[in-house]
Structure 1
C-alpha cells in the first residue's frame, strides 16, 4: 500500500509517519511538504534512509507536481 502524507515534516505529520512505518513496515510512505515555518526536514531524519519512505518538497497547490507524484507512485 502507498500512503501520501501531506505536511509530513510538521509535528503531527512526522509522528504519523513514524507510527505508520513502525506498525506497517510493508507500506510505502511518501511525504509531501512545502517546508514552510511549520515543517522541518530534520524532523524526518530518522526515516530518511528507509527504503519504504520518500520525501518530496512541493506545495500541494502545485497541481502539476501532485499529478506527477500520483502518476509515478
Structure 2
C-alpha cells in the first residue's frame, strides 16, 4: 500500500510518518511538504534513507505539480 502524507516535515506529520513506518514497515510512504516556516526537513533525517520512503517538496495548491 502507498500512503501520501501532506505536511510531513512538520511536528505532527513527521511523528505520524515515524509511527506508520514502524507499524507498517511494508507500506510505501510519500511525504509532500512545501517546507514553509512549519516544516523542517531535518526532522525526517531518520527515514530519508529508507527504501520505502520518498520526500517531495511541493505545494499541494500547485495543480501542475
| TM-score relative to the length of structure 2 | 0.98
Structure 2 residue ranges without an equivalent (≥5): none
- Across the two proteins, how many residue pairs are aligned to each other? 65
**Consecutive aligned runs of 4 or more in structure 1 exceeding 3 Å deviation:** none
d(CA) in 1 for partners of 2:40, 2:49: 16
Q: What aligned pairs does 1:46-61 form with structure 2 within 5 A after superposition?
A: 46-61=46-61
Q: Distance in 2 between matches of 1:32 and 1:62?
A: 12
List gaps (5 residues or longer) in structure 1.
Answer: 66-73
Instruction: Give the TM-score normalised by the residue count of structure 1.
Output: 0.88
